[in-house]
A and B are shown apart, each in its own frame.
Chain A
Amino acid sequence: MNRLEVKGLKTYFFLDEGIVKAVDGVSLSIGDQETIGIIGESGSGKTVTALSLLRLVVPPGEIVSGNAILRRKDESYVDIFALEPQSDVLRSIRGNELSMIFQEPMTAFSPVHTIGSQIGEMVAQHTDLDSRTIRGHVVDLLHRVGISNPQQRYDEYPHQLSGGMRQRAMIAMALSCNPNIVFADEPTTALDVTIQAQILELMKDLQQDERLSVVYITHNMAVVAENTDRVYVMYLGRVVESTTTRRLFSSPLHPYTQRLLRSIPKPGHRVDKLEIIEGNVPIPIDPPVQCGFFPRCPVAIHGTCDKAVPALTQHEDGHFVRCFLYSEETEQEDEWTRI
């Protein structure tokens, strides 16, 4: 059994304008020490997927269906979505077993508390250690993520740290309670390439030392290509393709993935013009029951792709794709499909 098995996650936002189906039936599995990538453009639902798994979705958002079975540190199993929002069990999971590295360390940290006290607060929440031991532990963490002079940094405020240092502190915070799975939401997007390389290298080292599973949530194909074992490609709230990273980049199946990979400039393969995907990612307010990519898909089959949602089916061993070009199977409808 994998560390985490998610089945049929649906997270909807109930707005006055209509229902935004931000995540609409996502299933994924995360193995021990695996590195997973979730690729998608803005609005694809990749961040909401992670927030749902941490139960951080707030109204008007709501997890309407699905389950997520987590194998805990003590080898017991729990369905994260079945837990009460304020329950002790959920609190003991969040931060302690699942944690998240946020994109903007400047906004994710509180500006009026020191870095050290913010990380320490999390440790205090999950352990019975006294404050001096906690301080020692946090200083040690800051040192491990490559922050020089951690004793002094402990007492500094987020604005006193550079972007790269803040991101390191963020990583230290996420790892402070030895979680099993870390969701890294665009962990390097706001950073320069040289700092990005430092951070990704650090994540790799930590992952080996700490036996972590890491989920990279990003739109950066290159980061995914270099750092992950397996990839889920998301479009408009659904996983449209999933396979090993190597296979995805060598033989993508879904028309969206194929075009997405061709639309990024590749150093060393200079072309006159990049291939483009026409149009924009639609806003998923009351989306029609059809393939999400249908309006932009150049190989769409009219009368088929606009009539039903294709199911995610296995095309080859371990290579799943959601497209009528490969299978006629349609997604099973439930009470939420046509509301």
Chain B
Amino acid sequence: MNGQESKQARILEVKDITKFFPITKGFLRRVVGHVRAVDSVNLYVNEGETLALVGESGSGKTTLGRMIVRAIESTRGSILFRKDNETWVDLTRLKGNDLRAVRRYFHMIFQDPYSSLDPRMTVLDIVKEPLIHNKIAKGDEARERVREILKIVGLDDMHLRRYPHAFSGGQRQRIGIARSLVCNPRLIVCDEAVSALDVSIQAQVLNLLKDLQIQFGVSYLFIAHDLAVVEHIAHRVAVMYVGKVVELAETSELFGNPRHPYTEALLSAVPLPDPERKQSRIILRGELANPANPPSGCYFHPRCPYATDLCTRVTPQWREVAPEHFIACHHADTLSLKGMF
């Protein structure tokens, strides 16, 4: 994708979004500190686009995804969502019926296809529920719609009356996808949607997600830790580290020409399915910083091989170093980092 295309219609704009979880102590639940799960994140998603969120566990990707679908409340910031062609709403400010009215436009697919479906509901009921709940269709019409959507995701009529336990992991994930698609949403947050699946099944679901995007123009916020999968499916990638997005760029740009030392290390850690190619690996020392007590300056400086005195003192600004290539690093202009290719 070039600069031209990326100016296409936006559907979601996240501004300065922040989530602090309080740490309480004692009988009176006194607040003694905060876990900075997500800290001042800015990003946008275009129509029909896949934006991937990558990062280690504990980096805040899931919290960000859940805030966007309003599964948890944000502490600060705004989430602007384009409901239809002209109307923008701020999801963080909506309440009650207003919120319910926009919920049909965004949906979530979960990681674990075993625990995310109610074992006591049939496939028909599971997929139909959003239609009823959002008052989009009922009765025969709803059933017809469910049939249609199941066919699209590769299940058929004979599956309608069955319960989730009768399905394999891949099929359950298809049920989850059908449920999230049935209301014609504009945005789907896929939280590690293919991580729990077997290799051969993962390819089926990835292809399905791509097909659906082409067919319905739906956008994905694709939360994943498998960078090979991300490179395959995403148009743009945002890299998170301890609650902050440290780099955001178009996929081939980010993989080929990373500008943040953390991205470089992350890419070099990815094992490649090719025994002939031995890459020199940057082994990061230590582990993710504690988001309840993050280091001073740039959060990455204790693990960063390029860190200077400046990095330990000053928090780097979020800035655009090249068209559509955003980064938070003091030394982005002087470092020459190695990409994956």
Q: How far is the CA of A198 from the CA of B266 in the complex (A)?
A: 12
0/1 interface trace, chain B 248-264, chain A, CB 8 Å (1 if under): 00001001000000000
Knowing A193-B270, A273-B207 are in contact, say whether A267-B231 is a contact too (CB < 8 A).
Answer: yes
A192: chain B residues at CB < 8 Å are: 56-57, 225
Asked whether any CB of chain B lies closer than 8 Å to the CB of A221, the reply is yes
Question: Given the known A-B contacts A41-B198, A197-B269, A274-B232, are A225 and B275 also in contact in the complex, defined by CB atoms under 8 Å?
Answer: yes
A314 vs chain B, min Cβ distance (A): 21
A266 to B273, Cβ gap below 8 A?
A: yes
A339 within 8 A of B: no
Q: Which residue of B lies closest to A266 (CB)?
A: B273
Contact partners of B102 in chain A: CB under 8 A: none
CB distance from A40 to the nearest CB of B (A): 9
Size bracket of the A interface = 35 or more
Tell me, yes or no, whether A117 is within 8 Å of chain B by CB. Answer: no
Total inter-chain residue pairs, C-beta < 8 Å: 132
Residues of A within 8 A of B199 (CB): 41, 219, 221, 260, 263-264
In the assembly, what is the distance between CA of A162 and CA of B288, in Å?
10
Write the chain A residue with the least CB distance to B281.
Answer: A197
Given contacts A273-B210, A276-B200, contact A249 B269 (CB under 8 A): no
Which one of B225, B268, B273, B341 contacts A249 once the chains associate, using CB atoms below 8 Å? B273
Report if B337 contacts A (CB, 8 A): no
Whether, in the assembled complex, B287 has its beta carbon less than 8 Å from a beta carbon of chain A, the answer is yes
Complex Cα distance, B340 from A270, in Å, reads 13
Q: Does A152 contact B (CB under 8 A)?
A: no
Residue of B203, B252, B271, B287 ringed by the most chain A CB atoms within 10 A: B271
Contact with B along A174-206 (1 / 0, CB 8 A): 000000000000000000111111101100000
B316 within 8 A of A: no
Binary contact track B218-258/A, C-beta < 8 Å → 1, others 0: 00000001011101110000000000000000001001000
Is B171 close to A, CB under 8 A?
yes
B271/A245 in contact, CB under 8 A: no
**Is A277 among interface residues, defined by CB-CB distance under 8 A?**
yes
Are A264 and B276 closer than 8 Å at their CB atoms? no
0 or 1 for each of B200-224: is its CB under 8 Å from A? (1 = yes): 1111101100100000000000000
Indicate if the CB atoms of A277 and B200 lie closer than 8 Å: yes
10 A-B pairs (CB sep. < 8 Å):
A41-B199, A194-B56, A263-B202, A266-B272, A267-B270, A267-B272, A270-B252, A274-B206, A274-B232, A280-B171
- Taking beta carbons and an 8 Å cutoff, which residues of B are in contact with A? 56-57, 168-171, 198-204, 206-207, 210, 225, 227-229, 231-233, 252, 255, 265-266, 268-276, 278, 281, 283-284, 287, 340-341
CB-CB nearest 8 A-B residue pairs: A265-B232, A222-B271, A263-B203, A197-B269, A192-B56, A274-B203, A41-B198, A277-B200
Extra contacts, 6 of them, besides A193-B270, A266-B228, A273-B207 (Cβ < 8 A), are A193-B56, A194-B284, A264-B203, A265-B203, A270-B231, A272-B210
